[in-house]
Chains A and B, each alone.
Chain A
Amino acid sequence: MNTMKETMTPDERLWAAIRLERPDRVPVLPGLLPEPAATLSGVSQAQIAGNIETAVNAVFRVFDAYGGWENPYPASYTPLQLQASGIFPLPMRIPGVDLADDVPYQLEEVELLVPEDYETLAELGFERFYYDDFLWRIGNLERDELPGVQTAMARGGGLFLQECAKRETRPFFLASSLHPFFMLSLMRSMVRFTEDLYYAPEPVERAIERMTADLIATQLDFAKQSGIDIWLLTEERASCFFFPPVVFERFWWPYTRRIVEAFWAEGIVTLFHLDTSWDKNLPYFKELPRGSAILELDGNTDIIAAKELLRGHLCLKGDVPAALLSIGKVEEVEAYCHKLIDQVGSGGGFILSSGCSVPANVRPENFRALIETGKRHASS
């Protein structure tokens, strides 16, 4: 095996990659959330969905058992807390409640946002609209339950930071948001939202405009307070897998650019979580300031082509596919990681990771193969 002696701290290694310099080895940073952590640590999906301490402890048991990696993903949540905080604004089915104990929580996409809501959103802003009205349409939570859920989430966040401190590490990021485009698509449902974009676009545009301004105001402030110069922006629906460039150029790219530039002006790097194929959209990302973003790809975008296009401009992260981690063989995971390290990691600007998050039914031996291959295999 091709090995290299470590000469950098995890933080130095990560930031070398982000700054497009050559680290001592590729940083390894799998998207380990409580759902795969439950599987890998022997607790049920129902247990982590029902108890924030169990969720946090599962993540750190795995972090320790697999020798650690650059930074843990912030994973201090239960599903309902994600809904209560507006991160996932749609109904959920919860293991142990609506699903079997061994099935991860899932989002249920239904048409809860109606066309008139776009104007309300544009006028009130997301937070007021969500907590005055929309959250209660979802139906998982009653109003009197909200303070308790928020308190538990804060407690979980505190516990997560304590566990990080014990290990002399810190979360990969803390501030995060869905992109306004993605959020509206989930709240309205994919089909209805698509109809709105084509047949009644102006109200959608006004809502995205307001939500973009709100997002910058709240998340930039949070990111600055957190002291972590990375924040997460998630988008799973805006790419040319779904929409033609004309939609992307009107409803997504200008707002995205504004968001990235606002954070970058404060020295904060945007971590894009980009599911589906972004092959046709990649050239737009060259317009962003050099080093201002990381593109986290899920295995559906051609990461080799992305590297060719964005080499020396933006850092890439990914992209061991979920299917490979859940049903593949160890040697297949190793070979995939070797290919990534050699072809995408060469010269820096790459973070080895799962494509999307680690799947809930990941095979332990495959997870270990990802971590250890990343740590031991120097790029050729």
Chain B
Amino acid sequence: MPRELSTAIVELARDDVPAMIERKLDAGEDPLAILAECREGMTRVGERFQAGDYYLAELLLSAEIFKAAVARLAPHLPDTDGDRPVGKVILATMRGDIHDLGKNILATLLRAHAFEVHDLGVNVEPAELVEKVREIRPEFVGLSVLITTAFRSMQEACRLLEEAGLRDSLRLMIGGGVTTPELEEWVGADFQTQDAAAGVAYCVERVGEA
């Protein structure tokens, strides 16, 4: 029995996945169904991570495989409702910090779970974040941080969201190696983690409630 596409992703078979997708497309399979298989693979990778069988390295590798799969499938995917996102997320590293490794991992994992992700990049001004929230109306905002000099701009972003009347309509997440539960409270966030997979789990669990 041939190996399933989702299993190839779980096994991190980077060189096999593109050929499997190609064969499926050639056979006339629905690109949305192929994408769903890829997402299933990512879900299983996440489960292995939560169980402690996989590490961040394997999350990274699977995310790269998934990105390449989506790029290959993109020309075949419909523009509209067929792949409607389950939710919208804005991600940013705030003013004072230019690090983006954790944010980029989270973005890829969220996309693999069918979220629409708007990545504002690094060194982002709080006012810019607020404008984007006003425009996109996301269910989640995630602020990534590696160095403490961005703490104040994270807190400022939360305050500006409140002043703009936008704070109650979303869940604010913070993540990164220097974050702590105390920082979550200080910033005024709803969730804190050092673990990208936990961030994804939070979004998946809460998306219907936001």
Contact = CB atoms under 8 A, between A and B. Distances in A.
Interface string B162-194: 000000000000000111101100100000001
A325 B64 CA distance: 36
A93 B151 CA distance: 19
B180 A326 contact: no
Interface residues of A, number: 36
Contact of A360 (B15, B149, B183): B149
A276 interface: yes
Interface in B64-114: 64, 96-99, 101
A118 to B, nearest CB: 18
B177 A194 contact: no
Interface stretch (A159-167, A195-203, A341-349): A195-203
Instruction: Report the interface size class on chain B.
Output: 20 to 34
B148 A323 contact: yes
Contacts of B179: 323
A361 B148 contact: yes
Nearest to A248: B55
A324 B186 CA distance: 11
B12 interface: yes
B57 A198 contact: yes
Given A324-B180, A361-B151, A198 B56 contact: no
Interface stretch (A48-56, A81-89, A104-112, A175-183): A104-112
Given A190-B101, A323-B180, A243 B151 contact: no
A242 B177 CA distance: 12
Contacts of A324: 180, 182
Interface string B125-158: 0000000000000000000000111011000000
A300 B54 CA distance: 19
Contacts of B14: 195, 199
A244 B58 CA distance: 9
A243 B55 contact: yes
A328 B186 CA distance: 9
A22 B61 CA distance: 47
B36 interface: no
A240 B98 contact: no
Scoring B55, B101, B180, B186 by chain A CB atoms within 10 A of each residue's CB, the highest score goes to B55
Contact of B182 (A104, A108, A276, A323): A323
A296 interface: no
A122 interface: no
Interface of A: 93, 99-100, 103-104, 106, 108-109, 190-191, 194-195, 197-199, 240-244, 247, 275-276, 300, 321-328, 332, 359-361
Given A109-B99, A195-B14, A359-B147, 8 more contacts: A99-B123, A198-B57, A199-B14, A243-B57, A244-B54, A321-B180, A324-B180, A326-B151
5 contacts: A243-B56, A276-B177, A300-B177, A322-B178, A326-B151
Interface of B: 12, 14-15, 54-58, 60-61, 64, 96-99, 101, 123, 147-149, 151-152, 177-180, 182-183, 186, 194
